[in-house]
Amino acid sequence: MSAADVIAAWDKADPTAIHPLRQVSEDAYWQSGREQADTLADVIPAGSRVLDYGCGDGRVAIPMADLGYEVTAVDSSQTMLDRLTARAPEMTTVHADADGLARHFGRRRVDAAYSLAVLIHHSYEDCLHIIRKLRAVTKTGGLLILDWPTSDHPAEADSWIGVTTWSPEQQAQACEEIGLERVDSHLPWGVYRTVKARG
């Protein structure tokens, strides 16, 4: 699926279909975001300037800001950003896809960028494109935290809620070309330090 197809599907979806915990309760949904923010805070230094790419309605971005991070919330869906702004009007939001990041950040770089529910829904090509753009706006030595899973049986997502997985070899090669070094962590997502690209 193309990035545009994924965004269109999310925009049309009922909010209760966006995350399984929303079918339990709104409290459970927002609590899961607070828990994920606490988990991110275990590896992202306090007070860092961070980018939440694919922020949706702010489930993680809002609690990250509450923890003292300077958060820029980016999403390709204005519908999602409107929902975030209704809940946290003071948060910096940017309506952009991966290509729009450079226009917004210019020469400024973030200390860390995370994308927790985006890459898994995209094709290999789109996934790599997004990661390259996130790497470009992150300081060298900064962190990328990504939903970029590997599998012994890799496959591309075939629907807007499908999951793309990579072989460990595919991912290692991409990291070398992009300029990422995997960091050992207990996080449920991949953690990568930005380094000079070798490719």
pLDDT tens, residue order, the chain (199 aa): 566 766 676 666 666 666 666 666 778 888 999 999 999 999 999 999 999 999 999 999 999 999 999 999 999 989 889 999 999 999 999 999 999 999 999 999 999 999 998 888 888 999 999 999 999 999 999 999 999 999 999 999 887 677 899 999 999 999 999 999 999 999 999 999 999 887 5
- The whole-number pLDDT of residue 43 equals 97
Question: Residues 144-163, buried b or exposed e (16+ Cβ, 10 A)?
Answer: bbbbbbeeeebebbeebeee
Domains and CATH numbers, the chain: 3-194 (3.40.50.150)
- The whole-number pLDDT of residue 18 equals 61
Sheet architecture: strand order including 49-53: 92-95, 70-75, 49-53, 110-115, 138-146, 190-194, 180-182
CA distance 83 to 5: 20
Answer whether 16's CB lies under 8 Å from 37's CB: no
C-alpha separations of 126 from 31, 92, 122, 157 in Å: 30, 25, 6, 11
Cα 177 to chain centroid, rounded: 20
Q: What is the dihedral of CA 172, 73, 196, 178, to 10 degrees?
A: 40
* Tokens standing for residue 151: 């599998």
SS3 81: helix
Cβ neighbours for 79, distance < 8 A, ≥ 6 positions apart: 10, 11
